[in-house]
Amino acid sequence: MNIAVCAPQVPFERGGVEIFSERLAAELRERGHAAALVTVPFKWYPGERVLTQAFLWRLLDLDEANGRPIDLVIATKFPPYAVTHRNKVVWLVHQFRQAHDLDRTELGQFGELPESARSAAPCSSWSDARSARQRSSSRRPATSRGGSGIRPACRPR
């Protein structure tokens, strides 16, 4: 079986998903499959670019490669799970937290207002953003969407 394991690749970063995806492709090859790791560079900021990054995966043609049909596509996280294929499965290692569980919180990357209308300055790091979240967590009222209504001290770039 020809299998494409799809994973994003953040240049100069290597961690859990990269190791998992490489190992998955290697294990599939050891079991007699033709498996290839398919990556596209991923940049999760600025927020306006995230959907463009997902669209890149949507535009990929993984029906065949060099005349050989691809029988199965395994997507591991965002944005590769946007890829289309007649036989795609998602082994969700990570969701895109800024759009899922952090939506409408101070760490969320998206919101109802255009980026230029947000008042918080960009954080210099995720640890700054986490600190801002922890400082406001005790004051945060519960809402149905998880949002606090409190402007963070900073927001992820």
- 3-state secondary structure (DSSP) of residue 149: coil
In angstroms, rounded to a whole number, what is the distance separating the alpha carbons of residues 138 and 150? 11
Provide the 10 A C-beta neighbour count for residue 61. 10
In angstroms, rounded to a whole number, what is the distance separating the alpha carbons of residues 68 and 81? 22
In angstroms, rounded to a whole number, what is the distance separating the alpha carbons of residues 77 and 10? 13
pLDDT band at 117 (very low <50, low <70, confident <90, very high): very low
In sequence order, what DSSP letters do the residues of 28-54 get, joined into one string?
HHHTT-EEEEEEEE----SHHHHHHHH
> Could you give the C-alpha distances from 38 to 23, 24, 61, 96, in angstroms and in order?
13, 12, 12, 19
| Greatest mean pLDDT among 11-20, 27-36, 37-46, 130-139 | 27-36
Lowest mean pLDDT among 19-28, 90-99, 121-130: 121-130
